[in-house]
Chains A and B, each alone.
Chain A
């Protein structure tokens, strides 16, 4: 699994951080997504798929 995030689209909803905190974070100064791990291990895959499905801005794209 390879993750890309679109900072321009990101609206700072924070769903990704709530669901997969090992993979995503938010910048302190504007709440925009930080990708901590672009190729996470399999134990994270289910959570990451959920983040991509629920991101309100469609800012998380998965290549798998």
Chain B
């Protein structure tokens, strides 16, 4: 029997029972995707890490025999024409990565901390003003990363709501009709074209202005289209992921309130607590697909050329073979080589940004709302379905 993927799960924070079984008995498993196409699911730490770090494998699912993830005509986010514009491998990818990566260094992120803290403080003040209970996801988790990305891209505050909508639409596998997704993509593309024209005429102190200033490919820079798609990709990659992670992290820390109390007593644990939340997140979404352009051995199984592999980083992060007491959330766990951001040359470009946002949000919440508690029993938290990224529908809290 072929397992349907994503694996259904009624709980918001707990892993599905199938993970342990798959890791133990069937670490290289056949699954059927929402499109009806077949793929191979990996759930063990070593296997997931090996495949994600293998430079020969492609994130693009545009080969004729690659699996389609969803039933929209073009197969969704990972096989769209847009995804192919950013170089996928080799020297060209490395050049792109380094041009953009300089904006995401640890130092730059540390420099953004005060500004992120101000945004978090303001959003929390507004939430408190509206009164309790409140939905922490809508009040803080969702707006904060889009404000930060918009600042980095030089997008004015007035346009933040439109950015939120576009990013939600483009990352959704089932919630929107294909016509809505196409319309959002076209609008977003047009907005970014106009935005880049404005930046070209009047450069600012932002990532896109700098990418334009670096010149075209002949100067070691990017084409106009690559700059545009990079801007779109940074929003899509950096918004929904972090927004949902803020909600899930706070939910995990409040689900057993001794965790929250321990952090109140010792805020120096914030860094390891953030890493452990990333590792422990059992609702992280679809996972990362890879297409095998040649025969590849994984976990002792030879997978034929043309296989589409789904890497479940969340299942791998619960692998007892890689983490002691993997099913226990340990706020002091160190080292914590989790795979939430992937691994190798394609690991998340924005991971320092995400880490910094999560640390700042937690710091400000502990300081401003030490009495924070869940406003519903943890069993009543609902999953958000249909996104490539997993999350909670709402996070009701009191203080």
Contact = CB atoms under 8 A, between A and B. Distances in A.
Nearest to A30: B98
Interface in B334-367: 334-337, 341-349, 351-352, 355
Interface stretch (B105-113, B192-200, B386-394): B105-113
B305 interface: no
A53 interface: yes
A1 B295 CA distance: 40
A50 B334 contact: yes
Given A26-B106, A31-B102, A18 B352 contact: yes
B99 to A, nearest CB: 7
B105 A28 contact: yes
A57 to B, nearest CB: 6
B97 interface: yes
B356 to A, nearest CB: 8
A27 B105 CA distance: 8
A27 B102 CA distance: 8
Interface string A3-40: 00000010111110110010001111111100000000
In terms of DSSP, what is the predominant structure of the interface of chain A? loop
A13 B271 CA distance: 16
A11 B345 contact: yes
A30 B101 contact: yes
B335 A14 contact: no
Given A14-B109, A30-B98, A56 B104 contact: no
Nearest to A27: B102
Interface of A: 9, 11-15, 17-18, 21, 25-32, 49-50, 53-54, 56-58
18 contacts: A11-B97, A12-B101, A12-B102, A13-B347, A13-B348, A14-B106, A14-B351, A15-B351, A15-B352, A18-B355, A25-B107, A26-B107, A27-B102, A31-B101, A49-B335, A53-B337, A57-B343, A57-B347
